[in-house]
């Protein structure tokens, strides 16, 4: 079984990549010197710049790309994509336990509890159909199909990583996260290998961000939230005129879907809608609170993975 090493208080701690020890890791307290924690991130005076960096990066990746939105912008699809990249990073043809098969993906997805085996199979089939995954018979056992990401999927994963590390780079530029931001393919593999052990931790992040998860589980839901925050300016409190059809076109969903999402956000006290001859929307402090917590949680988790990957590179160097 693969392992990755990290430093804790000057001693070497080994974490099994299937995640048993990782499930005990807290993002609120450092597990080793230099780890960025959620309280540190949220209290940083430049945190609004990190939030803006996340918003801008996500819009750059998904806005005006209906195909990509439909392919990935729902939490189940997104997690399947990431899980396949992570399992592929640990693939060793000589070790059957590491083979990235549909069964392995389904088993890994069980930690998240967000998709049935049937739906996972459908999502994998869609990734194959669209050229993001190739299937090949396993060496020595033609009955088993190995799932391998294509160059197209690897490049998209690099874009995804850059978008999610952008707020960390904005907040902590020295020494920064250059291997990710520069799309270093070897480090990408190391990061994804380290991330396998964080599946239970990622599930915890999702569980403690229930409000944002409601929108992440809806078609283009999180991007509608992000677009509202973008329109609301750096402080997230400006009222802006909006049109359901315009936002829907940006993310490949119907105006009805956008209307439902905003009505749900209004019911949860996350947005104020002013109806008249035109429609205006303003995020509430509650929306900023929940979104900031999600951003800080994901930043802390990605920093943790980066440090594990960098430490693994040093250990093998």
Q: Domains of the chain by range and CATH? A: 38-209 (1.10.10), 212-289 (1.10.10.10)
**Residue 55 tokens, joined:** 């918003």
Long-range contacts of 309-316 (CB under 8 A, 24+ apart): 309/4, 309/187, 309/190, 309/191, 309/193, 309/194, 310/179, 310/190, 311/4, 311/5, 311/6, 311/7, 312/4, 312/5, 312/190, 312/193, 312/194, 313/187, 313/190, 315/5
pTM for the model stands at 0.88
Whole-number percent of the chain with pLDDT over 70:
91
| Residue recorded with tokens 């002013």 | 274
Q: Which DSSP letter does residue 132 get?
A: S
pLDDT digits (tens, 9 = 90+) for 186-204: 999 999 999 998 898 899 9
pLDDT digits (tens, 9 = 90+) for 249-280: 999 999 999 999 999 999 999 999 998 878 99
pLDDT digits (tens, 9 = 90+) for 158-194: 999 999 999 999 999 999 999 999 999 999 999 999 9
* Residue 241, H or E segment: strand 240-242
d(CA 229, CA 247): 13
d(CA 87, CA 39): 31
- Per DSSP, the chain holds a count of helices (H) and strands (E) of 15, 7
pLDDT at position 283: 95
Taking 80 as the threshold, does the pLDDT of residue 217 lie above it?
yes
Helix 75-89 × helix 199-207 angle, to 10°: 160
């Amino acid at each position: 079984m693969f392992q990755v090493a990290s430093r804790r208080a000057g001693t070497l701690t080994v974490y099994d990549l299937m995640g048993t020890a990782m499930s005990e890791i807290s993002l609120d307290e450092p597990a080793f010197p230099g780890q960025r924690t959620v309280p540190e991130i949220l209290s940083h005076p430049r945190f609004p710049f990190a939030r803006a960096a996340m918003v801008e990066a996500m819009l750059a990746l998904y806005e005006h790309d209906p195909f990509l939105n439909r392919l990935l912008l729902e939490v189940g699809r997104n997690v399947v994509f990431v899980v396949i990249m992570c399992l592929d990073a640990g693939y060793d043809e000589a070790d059957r336990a590491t083979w990235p098969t549909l069964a392995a993906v389904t088993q890994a997805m069980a930690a998240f509890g967000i998709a049935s085996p049937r739906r996972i199979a459908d999502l994998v089939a869609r990734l194959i159909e669209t050229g993001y995954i190739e299937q090949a018979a396993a060496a020595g056992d033609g009955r088993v199909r190995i799932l391998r990401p294509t160059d197209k999927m690897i490049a998209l994963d690099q874009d995804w990583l850059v978008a999610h590390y952008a707020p960390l780079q904005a907040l902590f530029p020295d020494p920064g996260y250059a291997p990710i931001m520069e799309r270093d393919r070897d480090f990408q593999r190391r990061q994804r290998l380290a991330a396998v052990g964080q599946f239970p931790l990622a599930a915890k992040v999702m569980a403690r961000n229930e409000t944002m998860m409601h929108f992440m589980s809806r078609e283009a839901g999180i991007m509608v939230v992000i677009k509202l925050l973008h329109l609301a300016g750096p402080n997230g409190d400006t009222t802006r005129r909006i049109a359901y059809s315009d936002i829907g076109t940006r993310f490949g969903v119907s105006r009805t879907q956008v209307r439902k999402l905003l009505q749900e956000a209004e019911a949860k006290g996350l947005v104020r809608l002013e109806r008249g001859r035109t429609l205006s929307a303003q995020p509430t402090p509650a929306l900023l609170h929940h979104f900031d917590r999600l951003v800080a949680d994901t930043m802390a988790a990605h920093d943790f993975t980066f440090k594990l990957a960098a430490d693994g590179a040093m250990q093998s160097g």
